[in-house]
Each structure stands twice: as structure tokens, then as C-alpha cells.
């Protein structure tokens, strides 16, 4: 138990409202680089602005957040009742041949830097679902992830694997504590949430939406956390393709197999013409 005092409710509320507002700005690049096909279901404006996060609604001085660069501006779900497993579920969908690498359970002092080095070498941007308690312990490393242009998302405060059985109050605390930790450390208001172990309940989904975030799962799970061997992780990841969300881990234990697998998978996927995008 870290004993950290919770933030005043008014400030929290303001942060959530900001997050919700940011989500409401559905947006896409105004540069018109992306055709709007496939998005007929929603009444999209013809000129769409890149989503902007305005994190300073209170008089309290807070860090000025830099909106994460993204090759594809995320938007919204047609329904928040089901976690997103494929990029095409999002509206508008990403450009063809997009793929997303998500990395969970960090930051970790040994493995996160290795993952970051590899991503930098390959010029790949990823989406990190981070744990509040880890952020508290490694704030500098957390900022390094953000500063490298990767996306920072909420993966709860303590990673309770039984979250689907927890009370509304407990789930809310997990979400809010991680949110505040991430926002205070990086100036970023997370727009995406992943439940520990992909365990969702109606309560978890409702609170995810209530706090202005979209629920994210994955399409490809190499079970790298179980250390099945580099070859096994590599083969599973290479099954992924256009529109898939890949799941990997930089926290929770020895991730040397994950790093080794990614080292060969990333260039192979790029050779296939796939582009790694953040959510």
C-alpha cells in the first residue's frame, strides 16, 4: 500500500472531463492523407482535426502535455460494450496495412529500456499499457516512454487480476489512481484502458467509458509472459497482420524472450509492408 493521498475530487473530475472532451474531438488528420472510406456510419465532418488533449483546466499549474504524435489519429468506438481487438473496430479505421504493438505491465527498470532501444532502432512506435504502481516507482522511465513518442495508456494502479470480480468502488479506485499517477508524471491523459489479463466485467466497461477511455484488448497473444521460448513468441506474432493489435509485455518478469522475438519480428513485418501505428 503506497498510502498516497487521493487527489481532490474536483481535480479528478476535471481530468476525467478533459479526457472525455479529448475523446469527443474525434479526429483525424486534417491533411486529408486518409480517405474516409468505410466511415459512412458516422457523421464525420469533411475536415477533421487531429485530436488534441487540453490538460490544464484548473488554475493549478500542471505540465503542458504534448499530444502524442500518431500516424493515425484515433477516434471512437461505435459501441463501448466490447473491447477493441482489431484496429478496424475503431471509427474511422486506420489506413490499410496498419498494425499496433501493445506492451503491458511496465515500466520495468531492466526490460523497458531494452524494448525502447529496440523500438528506436526499428523506428517503431508502440502503445504502452502501464501500471500506476510502476509509474510511481519509475517516473523517469515513464517519461522516457512518453518522450520517445510512444502512447501511454491506463492498465490500472495495482494490476488486480481478479478485477472482474471487484466492486465498483475498487475498480474505480484502480482506474482513478493510475490515471492520476500517469497524468501527474507525464501530463498525459490516457484515452485507452486495458483490463488486467483482459478480464472485463460490465462494471469495468462502464467505468472505462465513464472515465473517457476506450477498452482495448488484442487480436494476437503470443503468451510471452509465460516464457514459451523466443521461437514460439516469434511465430505467434508473425501470425498477426493487417489491422491486428499485438500483445507483448515489458513487465512482470524476465522479458528477454520477448525482446529477442521482437528483434526479428519487427523488421519482418515492416518488410511485409505493415506500418506500426499507435492507437
Provide the annotated active-site residues.
Answer: 104, 249
Q: In this complex, which beta carbon is closest to Zn ion, that of residue 48 or of residue 249?
A: 249
Q: In this complex, which beta carbon is closest to Zn ion, that of residue 65 or of residue 196?
A: 196
Q: Which residues bind Zn ion (CB under 5 A)?
A: 104-105, 196
Minimum distance, C-beta of residue 71 to Zn ion, in the bound complex (Å):
25
Minimum distance, C-beta of residue 195 to Zn ion, in the bound complex (Å):
8
Radius of gyration of the chain (CA): 18
Q: In this complex, which beta carbon is closest to Zn ion, that of residue 104 or of residue 250?
A: 104
Could you give the CA distance from residue 115 to residue 256 in angstroms, rounded to a whole number? Answer: 10
Minimum distance, C-beta of residue 196 to Zn ion, in the bound complex (Å):
5
Minimum distance, C-beta of residue 131 to Zn ion, in the bound complex (Å):
7
Closest by alpha carbon to 139, among 85, 187, 96, 74? Answer: 187
Angle made by CA atoms 13, 17, 9, in degrees to the nearest 5: 5
Q: In this complex, which beta carbon is closest to Zn ion, that of residue 93 or of residue 196?
A: 196
Peptide bond into 92 cis (omega under 30): yes
Amino acid at each position: 500500500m503506497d498510502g498516497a493521498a487521493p487527489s481532490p475530487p474536483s481535480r479528478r473530475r476535471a481530468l476525467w472531463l478533459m479526457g472525455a472532451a479529448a475523446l469527443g474531438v474525434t479526429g483525424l488528420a486534417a491533411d486529408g492523407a486518409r480517405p474516409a472510406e468505410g466511415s459512412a456510419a458516422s457523421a464525420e465532418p469533411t475536415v477533421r482535426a487531429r485530436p488534441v488533449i487540453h490538460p490544464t483546466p484548473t488554475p493549478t499549474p500542471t505540465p503542458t502535455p504534448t499530444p502524442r504524435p500518431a500516424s493515425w489519429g484515433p477516434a471512437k468506438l461505435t459501441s463501448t460494450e466490447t473491447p477493441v481487438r482489431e484496429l478496424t473496430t475503431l471509427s474511422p479505421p486506420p489506413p490499410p496495412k496498419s498494425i499496433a504493438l501493445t506492451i503491458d505491465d511496465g515500466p520495468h527498470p531492466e526490460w523497458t529500456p531494452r524494448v525502447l532501444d529496440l523500438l528506436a532502432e526499428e523506428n517503431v512506435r508502440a502503445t504502452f499499457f502501464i501500471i500506476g504502481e510502476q509509474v510511481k516507482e519509475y517516473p523517469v522511465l515513464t517519461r522516457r516512454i512518453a518522450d520517445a513518442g510512444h502512447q501511454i495508456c491506463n492498465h490500472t494502479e495495482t494490476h488486480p487480476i481478479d478485477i472482474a470480480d471487484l466492486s465498483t468502488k475498487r475498480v474505480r479506485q484502480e482506474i482513478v489512481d493510475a490515471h492520476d499517477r500517469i497524468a501527474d508524471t507525464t501530463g498525459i491523459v490516457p484515452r485507452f484502458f486495458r483490463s488486467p489479463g483482459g478480464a472485463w466485467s460490465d462494471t469495468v466497461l462502464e467505468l472505462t467509458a465513464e472515465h473517457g477511455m476506450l477498452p482495448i484488448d488484442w487480436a494476437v497473444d503470443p503468451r510471452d509472459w509465460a516464457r514459451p521460448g523466443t521461437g514460439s513468441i516469434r511465430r505467434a506474432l508473425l501470425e498477426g497482420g493487417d489491422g491486428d493489435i499485438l500483445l507483448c509485455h515489458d513487465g512482470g518478469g524476465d522479458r528477454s524472450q520477448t525482446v529477442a522475438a521482437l528483434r526479428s519480428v519487427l523488421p519482418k513485418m515492416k518488410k511485409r509492408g505493415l506500418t506500426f501505428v499507435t492507437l
